[in-house]
Structure 1
């Protein structure tokens, strides 16, 4: 995710919180990290916390709307990612109390995240959001391009020309502008990845073309020119091949 300077931080935080915490981020197109302008990092952290409280006003461990982590193994994997980030001097903000017995992990913000942290080196698949900063949009573009092609790119736009530049100079699966996840729900848009995030696409016409296996059948006519292209080759063969390849 990239938030452009000047975009409403409240709107961005609310839409990111939704995409980040639906199914506790255990979806393939959940946002893995967010890039914000250096001057906006603290504002994003504050508004994100407000957005999470709005979504889950009664807390997390006791909320019927908040999802548990799949199993103990993945719960421990996520807590290891958080500890590693803390060891490498990230500012970790826990947005509630965990309930380990129920595999409930409260949302976590990882501020001042760096590429060396384990949380930035694997797909998170849990409610842990690294926050990285940039000064110039080119830094954000370079950061995206230095990594495997993402399955989804989320861009929060203030200036159309900046959006167009990001679309021109990055490669990803699908893109949602000014929101998260919702490109997947558009039946007429092909959904899929690129590079390490996947091959091909489906949904709508693309899904129909990708999933069946059309079987080609050719029946040779009784009278045909195929024998003219069989050895031994002669002048007639040269005339035919020259005509076919001209």
Structure 2
């Protein structure tokens, strides 16, 4: 057996061992106390805070270039505040809730109890490798579950670091990250809940595999998230806000604005502001603040997407005065793309890079019709101060989430769920909805000392008929 084959066997052996340990532990101790859950959250918080430099360095190594400031802002700070929010509200979330009892069952008591599902598997992507590995894990652990994480092949520097840090604080029975294991080796087992973040095509495969075990799944799948700037909104302000959401992490964000609707007469004005904003922020694509595309495949995909668009009549406008596509650093200068058409790749597939197609429009009804003709996006963004227009767009479209007069920020709200719909995913996490997602909301009926239902037991006769008539008449 070759060394590579031995290595694969070792990795599969470890995932099997950890899964079996967690499954056994979840059966023998199925309901961790509030303090046990808080202690686990404190350990994760400690790992994040005390190892910020090492985490940022590992992410930077995986990307080739991703500045520490972006990792701290978009992942570490978001996670530490998420943990604080869970700790603050966990006691109330865990409390059994009383539910109404009808007159027919007078004297009995109803309640629902949120209980842990058991062992949760998390498959995280490379674009936010820390946040999308630890974020769902925080929610699952807060709900009392045990968690195993598989990270992306492009995130192995961070994966190995987290494996070391988490193994030092947690037993395998509670929380583990497994480096190097393949998606198929990880996914194909009887999880009690499974979380996957990635493409819709892979999400379908994950769901098919989960169906073998009737495993409930949470799928975060991205898609082409539209952005609309209305005629009433200041174009400079729109450029400042939406370009941050678009080009942070070089556009490699599942909720990034994927294409932009602008009033036809405002296109040139917006492009002028966009150049000013990006020049002020980056100066050139060589800036250390501008993130690299994750690998050669991603870089070549963006190059091919641009070539396809220009061959079909599009015009690309570079938004920084200096720099050009560099296959060594894998940096691609941020650009807007004009004169786009539907046969172009960038209008068919999620871009996941520093390109922003612009579609001029004449009426908001035209925009709504276009959005509704496509797959349901993970996010929708509208820039308008007109409340009636805001309501028209919100209530006549459907997306995973919405930010009005900014982008991305609905995802950062701890008291709102995050999740897709249709082709962009299913299920939610963040906040209380995340706690509920990873809990079995278990109904418990407690009968009174005397059971009135026995008055309806056989033999059926006049008493039964009279009682049944009363129940139906008064809807008891």
TM-score (norm: length of structure 1) = 0.88
1:1-246 equivalences in 2 (<5 Å): 1-57=227-283, 59-61=284-286, 63-95=287-319, 96-216=323-443
Compare 138-147 and 87-96 and name the one that shifted more. Answer: 87-96
1:153 to partner: Cα distance: 1.0
Distance 1:224 1:88, change over 3 A: same
Distance 1:231 1:16, change over 3 A: same
Q: Of Structure 1 and Structure 2, which has the larger fraction of its residues in helix?
A: 2
**Offset from partner CA, 1:186-217 (integer Å, 9 cap, x none):** 11122222221122322211111112223445
CA distance in 2: counterparts of 1:113 and 1:197, whole angstroms: 23
1:13 to partner: Cα distance: 0.7
CA distance in 2: counterparts of 1:158 and 1:105, whole angstroms: 34
CA distance in 1: counterparts of 2:304 and 2:468, whole angstroms: 66
1:10 to partner: Cα distance: 0.7
Divergent runs of 4+, >3 A:
214-246
SS state at 1:73 partner: helix
What residue ranges of structure 1 are gaps of 5+ in the alignment?
A: none
1:108 to partner: Cα distance: 1.7
Distance 1:126 1:244, change over 3 A: farther
What residue ranges of structure 2 are gaps of 5+ in the alignment?
A: 1-226
Distance 1:2 1:222, change over 3 A: same
Distance 1:237 1:154, change over 3 A: same
Distance 1:219 1:168, change over 3 A: closer
**Offset from partner CA, 1:23-67 (integer Å, 9 cap, x none):** 11111111100000111111111111111111112x122x22111
Is the 1:5–1:158 contact (alpha carbons within 8 Å) kept by the matching residues of 2? Answer: no
Is the 1:188–1:205 contact (alpha carbons within 8 Å) kept by the matching residues of 2? Answer: yes
Q: Of Structure 1 and Structure 2, which has the larger fraction of its residues in strand?
A: 2
CA distance in 2: counterparts of 1:92 and 1:244, whole angstroms: 71
CA RMSD, aligned part only?
A: 2.3
**Offset from partner CA, 1:199-240 (integer Å, 9 cap, x none):** 232221111111222344567889757788899988877777
SS state at 1:14 partner: helix
Is the 1:68–1:104 contact (alpha carbons within 8 Å) kept by the matching residues of 2? Answer: yes
Compare 70-79 and 228-237 and name the one that shifted more. Answer: 228-237
Number of residue pairs the alignment of both structures matches: 244
Distance 1:131 1:225, change over 3 A: same
2:205 corresponds in structure 1 to none
TM-score (norm: length of structure 2) = 0.47
Distance 1:241 1:201, change over 3 A: farther
